[in-house]
Structure 1
Amino acid sequence: MFRLCAASDIAEGQSKGLEIQGQRLLAIRKNGTLHVYENRCPHRKIPLEWLPDQFLDSSGSLIQCATHGALFLIDTGECVAGPCAGQALRARSAIERDGIIWLQNEQ
């Protein structure tokens, strides 16, 4: 496991960009649940944010790619609008323990 950040660094309804071992990730807390994805749009394989830690649309209910406006569900990473509709962000497994968010190793 790899330490990502303190659990308190990601408040309810907020997003945060993270990097671990050269891999860019994004984390979002929605309804108390933490969601972690690779920070890479499936359409152009580029980072999603337009400013640091800015991954959500204006309503705060969807992840938005700043380059072409694709919209992704926070819960599943599925693209619901834009040129990559039907594709999805790659989810990463993370756990919260003792106030720390840990990225789990992939098998």
Structure 2
Amino acid sequence: MPAGIRLCDLSELAEGPLGFDPFNEGQDSVLVILRDGNVYAYTDVCPHYGNTTLPWKKNAYLNNRGNRIVCAAHGALFTIENGLCVSGPCKGESLTPVPVIIENNTVWLVTSRAGENEL
């Protein structure tokens, strides 16, 4: 088992992006998206203002076309592949990437570096 927190099976992401509360804080703090065989993960916070979460309801992270991550509060649009804001009040800023790894078709949130104690 990797040094991290299990988020989901890779197959669960086939239906669309998912939000997770890996640290049991009471709300999702990480979003994970599978796109063209690649997994992308970001903190579930819009860079425009404080701690505003992105979706208007659970797992509603994409715009109507399904090609951009959207902040429901501000209307900002972010590219899936690198989290860059391409439209909205935080244009040019980016979502904060979260390190994940895929092992045995399971998505893990990386929480320590090699050589450190595991959880």
- Relative to the length of structure 2, the TM-score reads 0.83
**1:8 to 2:11 alignment:** yes
Q: 2:22 matched to which residue of 1?
A: 20
Q: 1:59 matched to which residue of 2?
A: 65
Given candidates 82, 89, 108, the residue that maps to 1:76 is 82
Range with greater deviation from structure 2 (55-64 or 19-28): 19-28
Percent identical residues: 36
Per-residue displacement from partner, 1:18-67 (whole Å, max 9, x unpaired)?
A: 11113610011110100000000001131100111110001100000000
How many equivalent pairs are there?
106
**1:43 to 2:48 alignment:** yes
Per-residue displacement from partner, 1:40-97 (whole Å, max 9, x unpaired)?
A: 0001131100111110001100000000110000000000100000110000111111
The CA distance in 1 between the partners of 2:5 and 2:90, in whole Å, is 30
RMSD: 1.4
- Structure 2 unaligned spans of 5+: 114-119
Range with greater deviation from structure 2 (32-41 or 90-99): 90-99
Structure 1 runs, 4 residues or longer, greater than 6 Å off: none
1:100 deviates by 1.1
- Structure 1 unaligned spans of 5+: none
- Relative to the length of structure 1, the TM-score reads 0.92
Q: Which has the larger radius of gyration?
A: 2
